[in-house]
Structure 1
Amino acid sequence: MVRIPASPELARGIVEEDAKTCHDAIARERDRRARTRRPWQQASRRIVWSRFHEIDVCLFVFIKLGEISMKLAHLLSSIALVATVAMAPAALAQEAPKLKVTPLQKEPLTGQPDKEVISVIVEWPPGSGTGLHTHPGDEYTTVLEGEVVGRKDGSEAKTYTAGQSYHNEPGVVHEANNKASGTAKTFNVFVVEKGKPVSDPVKR
């Protein structure tokens, strides 16, 4: 049922229960309201609706952009995490500085043709080392510059400085390192079995 605030004309139509009169009265009432409404009011209604529509659209776009930004940030964080995890093993597996070995001499041992004498100069960058290894013969080392830390398997480490020497017996597991901040240099002589590697790495 349509209810419109009554005017005298509309009231008479309803009381008389005259359908046509009531219908005409409603139409005239609507026309009267349309005529009495000022143009600026109609325009104001359109402007207000338009402004609310624009605000609603802006809010929708802002919310969607916020959701996209959050998803993008999450994606970038995931990519950064994956990249960090992927690069970590490579960083951990980075090799220590390598030794620089300069050969000096290689001659057969007099009276023992199955053995030979090999002499070299070894430069030890800071942080470098040999790792655990053995020799198929005797090793005689003299430190020329800096210092070298040597350790035989089962013994405590010992530091050798310039002018000091040490000896490693055949088959003894040992290692040497340069733990100082400067480069070290040694003179090494090996009396080993001919045709065999000067050193053999030991894996633990």
Structure 2
Amino acid sequence: MKKHKNILASLLFTGVIGLGLAAIPNGVQAQQPGLKRVDLQRHDLSAPGWEAIQVRVDFGPGVVAPRHRHPGEEIIYVLRGSIEYQVEGKPPVTLKTGDVLFVPAGAIHSAKNVGRDEASELATYIVEKGKPLVEPVK
């Protein structure tokens, strides 16, 4: 029965799979190999219609989060490793443990673990409620 529930949950959330992300009840999301997203918290903001979402993203060596955008701002804090970010219209930047990056709403961007070991970031999103968190871009 549990297996059927997991399959059903995966099918219900195929609308957000663009980056390989499908919600699973425990907050861990299924995605492309070597990329793991764990939802940490989600809260309504005092501004009606907006919410804050925090996610830990773990990248295996050489793993890329392909081009995408969000319906609001993303604030990134690198927890460990070296991650190269490419924000459209700006030169690539490589951040290391303790570095931060601000990605404006709607900005197309990608990220790649350029180190030899696993890398992790804490991503905080300030987004409109009800919109998909991630929109893949070709």
Matches within 5 A, 1:4-153: 97-110=33-46, 112-153=47-88
Measured against aligned partners, the alpha-carbon deviations of 1:118-170 in whole angstroms (never above 9, x if no partner) come to 00111110111111111100000100111110011122111000000001001
Cα distance in structure 1, aligned partners of 2:67 and 2:110: 5
Equivalence for 1:169 = 104
Report the alpha carbon displacement of residue 174 of structure 1 after superposing the two structures with TM: 0.9
Q: TM-score, normalised by structure 1?
A: 0.51
Cα distance in structure 2, aligned partners of 1:199 and 1:168: 13
Cα distance in structure 1, aligned partners of 2:109 and 2:74: 11
Q: TM-score, normalised by structure 2?
A: 0.74
For structure 1, which runs of at least 5 residues remain unmatched after alignment? 1-95
For structure 2, which runs of at least 5 residues remain unmatched after alignment? 1-31
Measured against aligned partners, the alpha-carbon deviations of 1:65-124 in whole angstroms (never above 9, x if no partner) come to xxxxxxxxxxxxxxxxxxxxxxxxxxxxxxx733111111000011x1211100011111
| Runs of 4+ deviating beyond 3 Å | none
Alignment length, in residue pairs?
A: 107
Find the residue that maps to 2:116 and give its secondary structure.
Answer: coil
Higher strand share: 2
* Structure possessing the higher relative contact order (Cα contacts under 8 Å, 6 or more residues apart): 2
Structure with max Cα Rg: 1
The amino acid across from 1:113 in the alignment is: P
Higher helix share: 1
